[in-house]
Structure 1
């Protein structure tokens, strides 16, 4: 049996990971700015019979000293409970993690990468970290200024990518964009919603293993081949943060599914032999619908870009893609940081939060108001 304490940002991946292991979840606590110390002090008897306790340190308002006191109470009463600490704001060398290590708490996860979090949480529950695994936390170093990534809550983001014609680079750019999100730490699925067979060719070329659910993993991204509606529904039930749908060429038949995606990227061409296909798209949808498309033009010289912007009129969500020679190795999708700014982590210089500083930070956040998470 597992009890966990987390907030809105990491709830989905923590819950789904524990559930996927057929672990019984008892009394999950999902709330930002929880008082974990108070809960343990008042309800420690409720932990009887638990196998694991997972604590997400980003979701609590307690000081390091209060957290350590809560862990001490748990260890004293129920030494058999495996405490799993998820602390992405702390790194090896943290005095807090050193004290956890000294208390015999070895199951410590400090990544903010959703995929690595999932893998390490499975390892902690299934096997448990050894002294050797956790030895990097046994020493502390002086506090210093560091860059903290503040991740915004991403429950599920469905992004559709289609092209104005065949062979315009939809799959190529979908792979680059998937790499972009993966490098930001998100769990990413790339779904083939066309009958080109390209994903199967990629699988064979890299000699990847295909799993029972009809996908293979490459560079930390799950590729789903030839997906029908049933497979797409199954993908949505997995704890992915970003699902990229490769529609191939946009047509009357697939445009409704494309427009159901939260973000719609259209890969277009502007060379003379491509303009007829690009112009074919505009009668397929109303002006209001087209205004929500993100138009990404391939292979346009800088000298011609302004003319294309003028030609698009009020459709001003226009971007120009640079050529990526090695799509499986590169993640530089043009303007992705701007296009997807609302779901990307922010960076700020902060001191490692300890003692009263941690409380002050949370009070300031509460005064400013919480961010509103978005869902599909």
Structure 2
């Protein structure tokens, strides 16, 4: 069997370092925040090209706090896309604001900047582009529209660790950028975790307070905050993994190139496109087919796992029916939800496994 993701293989490759890092935290008894989390914050901020990083307990919490720091609250609107994981919209709702959707581009499946301005109203407080599957959205166009209307841009970079737009790292272009360290991410914890990066001193100060009960100092609560702190063990583990992230990213990119080459002649199948001036980090390698479900069954018959990201766009989810959107409102997102199939891609995947997956999709054996 070829698994969709193999976290055991990653752990085995760096087991000695991970075990030592965990034991170090246990010995220090700094179980919540602490020196390892502070060091991760410095190192990840530097990696992203940002001044500050504030570690939290999940990527959803990162989005929530970044929105609050930008002043988003009840009565406001936040523009984002419906073709994303539901957490993007949920974080907006947590603030009391209303998600407003715009459709995605048909090729990159990121926010369609040509449709963005029509969605902005006097109530718009922020725009949240989603860097889907590991590729950044069209940030020049999005930022220009946001600046024209005086609204904040908060990057949902939960799938885009190390992705670049015109040599700028994900998270460094908007007022803040939000990352998830869920185990399956390109940089994943052994549990939950997230982080906000920003170069805005005031935003950083507010987010640090909000993640820890709104405290300016112990027992002095200036804001209505949350318990969104990162565990020390996760901070230590992520520091180890961060040292490998660039090598792992290049392995993902090599696998993606190989997939695209092997599937170039496959009938009725579209492979991902890396847009100009962008570095795609392939958190997900998703092919597109009108017979997506048939392809998934064919892979399963060959012992190959695959995934669907995402089969129901947010505007059609029952939980968000109150927003009033209907089928057909966002045709590109709805088509992608029907047609995208995610293939196995992770650094430990072998070249031979990539060939097996491609062969199963082409329904023809690959010969070296």
More strand per residue = 1
Larger Rg: 1
Same topology, TM > 0.5: no
TM-score by length of 2: 0.31
TM-score by length of 1: 0.30
Question: RCO greater where, 1 or 2, for CA within 8 Å and sep 6 or more?
Answer: 2
